[in-house]
Amino acid sequence: MEVRDAVETDAAEIAEIADAPEDAMRRTIHDRTVRVAVGNNTAGDADTDADDSPPLVGFVSFDAREDTVHVTQFGGTPAACERLLAEPMGFAAGEGMAVELLVVEGDETARDAVEAVGFDRVGPGPRFDGQTTTRYRTESP
């Protein structure tokens, strides 16, 4: 799996992963730091066009305010989520900042990834569209 900066042409695939409108994901790419995980092209077909790119398997968006990096969205495969969360954590460590994010109740993939990389549950988060969230935080080493 390769991790790289998102580009505008990734918006449709990110929107599919996030179950969000493509225009919203395009704005996110322009307004925040967005990194994507690219899977391996497993087609193995010799006739595959050179333009065929491996699929995105996950994304993370984040921004920094004051002394905290805020992960605004992330999603994808379990392995991609864990790998991508290292991006804002690495940035935060270099700047001496904490990292915070919210996990929607019932999203076990997100919860498992967040807990696997060292975030601590710090309490309830705000409700979004009627869904309960939990706030997680990790301090820089």
**CATH code of the domain containing 34:** 3.40.630.30
Q: Is the pLDDT of residue 11 over 80?
A: yes
Which has more pLDDT, 45 or 113?
113
Range of the domain at 92: 2-42+50-138
**What pLDDT score does 42 carry?**
56
Q: What total of structural domains would you count in the chain?
A: 1
Q: What percent of the chain has pLDDT over 90?
A: 86
Q: Which helix (H) or strand (E) holds 126?
A: none
Q: Is the pLDDT of residue 13 over 60?
A: yes
Which has more pLDDT, 98 or 47?
98
Tokens of 51: 């333009």
Please list, residue by residue across 21-40, b when 16 or more beta carbons sit within 10 angstroms of its beta carbon and e when fewer do. Answer: eeeebbebbeebbbbbbbbe
Q: Find out whether 98 and 119 touch, Cβ atoms under 8 Å.
A: no
Across the range 81-107, mean pLDDT stands at: 96
Q: What is the pLDDT of residues 16-33, one digit of tens each?
A: 999 999 999 999 999 999
Q: What percent of the chain has pLDDT over 70?
A: 91
Residue of 69, 52, 51, 68 lying closest to 60 (CA atoms): 69
Across the range 83-111, mean pLDDT stands at: 96
Q: Find out whether 67 and 139 touch, Cβ atoms under 8 Å.
A: no
- pTM, to two decimals: 0.88
